[in-house]
Amino acid sequence: MLTTAGAAWAQERTRIKVGISVGNSESTFDVVKKVAARDGLDIQVITFSDYLQPNEALAAGDLDANAFQHQPFLDSQIKSRGYKIVPVGLTITAPLGIYSKKYKSVDQLPVGASIGIQNDPSNGNRALLLLQKAGLIKLKPGVGENGTNATPLDVIDNPRKLKLIELDAAQLPRSLDDLAAASINNDYAFKAGLSLQKDTIAVEDAKGRYANLIATRVEDKDKPWVKKLVKAYQSDEVRKFIETEFKGSLVPAF
């Protein structure tokens, strides 16, 4: 029969699987793994090439945690799919950019230009807000903020008659040659060799509601290994790596 201390030891995990998206998260998690190992936690990283599978895998029990999404995206996934997933700690902010290979500023975009945006609700909303911030479109009052996702149907002013082309987030870098510009998430842009500093004509503010996070299933949120995972990510060592490696294209959110 296990003692109380023995039962607690038996329940404490020393090896976990964490889902991340392709790109800059991979090198960051190389550092996280080293920090966590010193605290007795062995992290196996599983890399995904889209934004739907990591939550599916977590909900199904194939992962113990994931670290790839911001709160508005998680909220939309919970609402549409009923996941019992919660945030447990912040990681980085990856500012969204409007990228172009043809133009150097929003002022150069011609009438009727085709602009690619993400087809998932939260990132599509994010793209539309950035286009509005850049002065290219105007959205209906009350949409786009406070949990109400905007869609192209909510555009009430589009003086340049921009054509908003909705595509899967992973397809946008590959489609950039055929578009005047495209809203591209930081990890996909990084993988495609695009620079937030050199290849964008509009960029989100560095810190805001789109900070990325670590998420777990509700029943795991208070487990000792979760605290170790968050502690490892939010360590000074990881902070210094992010600031040195990405030079402002990624910003620590902790």
pLDDT in tens, 38-94: 999 999 999 999 999 999 999 999 999 999 999 989 998 999 999 999 999 999 998
pLDDT above 60 for 6: no
The mean per-residue pLDDT over the stretch 205-209 comes to 75
CA distances from 148 to 4, 130, 151, 184 (A): 47, 15, 10, 21
The mean per-residue pLDDT over the stretch 204-224 comes to 91
What single DSSP character describes residue 140? P
Supply the pLDDT for residue 151: 96
Supply the pLDDT for residue 207: 67
Phi and psi, residue 244, nearest 5°:
-80, -45
pTM comes to: 0.75
Provide the pairing of β-strand 85-93 with 15-21.
unpaired
Could you tell me the domains of the chain? 12-94+208-252 (3.40.190.10), 97-203 (3.40.190.10)
- Burial of 159 per CB tally in 10 Å (0-12, 13-18, 19+): exposed
Q: Say which amino acid occupies 97.
A: G
Q: Output 177 or 6, whichever has higher pLDDT.
A: 177
Q: Read off the pLDDT of residues 174-192 as tens digits, 9 standing for 90 and up.
A: 999 999 999 999 889 988 9
R_g over Cα of the chain: 20
